[in-house]
């Protein structure tokens, strides 16, 4: 696979990975003063501090975005990121000192490795220590260490996935990148619509085809019910907080292009958009960035499966 262009300048990405336990966490640290928006879909999201980056919130800066395994336990990784950021003097200024704003979202990977091992504050801090600019490590690392897709026949017949990344430059000269952690219930589709990652087995149909042909519910006791695709879009465009939320919503369209079925009751999909450019009113740039964000999101999801395969 060819190497994609790096994220926009000033964005750092770091992982903490426990390969034996098949879990980890991934942090995105943007330039100081960046804004953030989020789009949450599916029936089972696990999140932290997503309300504070909504267009109606009073905070207008995000310090980092944490993506983690460990199910709800993994949200504690954001505590470690907050501590690291405070040590760097980064966060929302208050009379009592800076308070880092760290929205977070998690995937369920407890069934893959050692369910007793989950990312916590120490691991979130460690991920920040490894954060660097440039193209991040991809595949079965960080929050994607225990990820899989196409789980309708059970996790043992699913396709391994992980962390994917894609980046491009818009016609206006703005960089747009997407980092994806892919642990979907459904299949990941290639550019031509064929199944890139789905349930494995000779003569096995796609997840969508199997669901359409079923006369009744499958054996829920053997079915993986906890699934998620997480995405963090990064751009140096001048988007305010409301425009970041709209871009995150447009980027969710990229999830739908690459995952089928998507946004179901069995998934907890979350897309963040973080923008570092000076905010300005430009409707066309918002359209251009959102369009490219959807394309990069789909590409990053496919890259997660391909990178896991090549790991």
Provide the pLDDT for residue 1.
Answer: 63
CATH node for 12-310: 3.60.70.12
Question: Which tens digit of pLDDT belongs to each residue from 175-191?
Answer: 999 999 999 999 999 99
- Which residues, in sequence order, are CB contacts of 118 under 8 Å at separation 6+? 23, 69, 70, 71, 73, 74, 76, 110
pTM: 0.96
Quote the pLDDT of residue 221: 66
- Segment 250-308, tens digit of pLDDT: 999 999 999 999 999 889 999 999 999 999 888 888 899 999 999 999 999 999 999 99
The per-residue pLDDT for range 84-143, each reduced to its tens digit, is: 999 999 999 999 999 999 999 999 999 898 999 999 999 999 999 999 999 999 999 999
Question: 59 with 108: CB under 8 angstroms?
Answer: no
105 is written with which tokens? 């979202």
- The pLDDT tens digits of the residues spanning 59-96 come to 789 999 999 999 999 999 999 999 999 999 999 999 99
**What confidence tens digit (pLDDT) does each residue in 219-262 have?**
766 666 689 999 999 999 999 999 999 999 999 999 999 999 99
Nearest to 172 by CA among 59, 293, 286: 286
What is the chain's Cα-based Rg?
Answer: 18
């Amino acid at each position: 696979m060819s190497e994609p262009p790096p994220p926009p300048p000033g964005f750092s990405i770091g992982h903490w990975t426990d390969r034996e336990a098949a879990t980890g966490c991934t942090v995105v640290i943007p330039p100081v003063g960046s804004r953030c928006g989020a789009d949450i879909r599916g029936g089972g999201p696990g999140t932290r501090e997503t309300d504070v980056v909504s267009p109606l919130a009073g905070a207008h800066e995000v310090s980092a975005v944490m993506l983690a395994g460990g199910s709800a336990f993994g949200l504690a990784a954001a505590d470690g990121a907050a501590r690291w950021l405070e040590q760097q003097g980064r966060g929302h200024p208050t009379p009592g000192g800076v308070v880092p704003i760290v929205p977070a979202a998690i995937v369920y990977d407890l069934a893959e490795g050692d369910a007793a091992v989950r990312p916590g504050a120490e691991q979130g801090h460690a991920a920040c220590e490894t954060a660097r600019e440039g193209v991040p490590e991809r595949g079965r690392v960080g929050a994607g260490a225990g990820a899989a897709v196409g789980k309708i026949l059970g996790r043992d017949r699913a396709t391994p996935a992980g962390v994917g990344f894609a980046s491009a430059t818009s016609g206006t000269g703005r960089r747009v990148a997407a980092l994806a952690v892919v642990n979907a219930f459904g299949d990941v589709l290639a550019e031509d619509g064929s199944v890139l990652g789905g349930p494995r087995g000779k003569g096995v149909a796609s997840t969508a085809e199997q669901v359409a042909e079923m006369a009744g519910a499958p054996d829920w006791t053997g079915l993986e019910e906890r699934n998620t695709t997480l995405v963090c879009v990064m751009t140096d465009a001048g988007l305010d907080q409301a425009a970041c939320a709209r871009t995150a919503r447009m980027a969710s369209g990229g999830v739908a292009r690459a995952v089928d079925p998507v946004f179901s009751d069995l998934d907890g999909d979350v897309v963040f958009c973080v923008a570092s450019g000076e905010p300005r009113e430009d409707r066309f740039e918002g359209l251009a960035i959102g369009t490219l964000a959807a394309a990069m999101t789909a590409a990053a999801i496919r890259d997660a499966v391909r990178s896991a395969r090549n790991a």
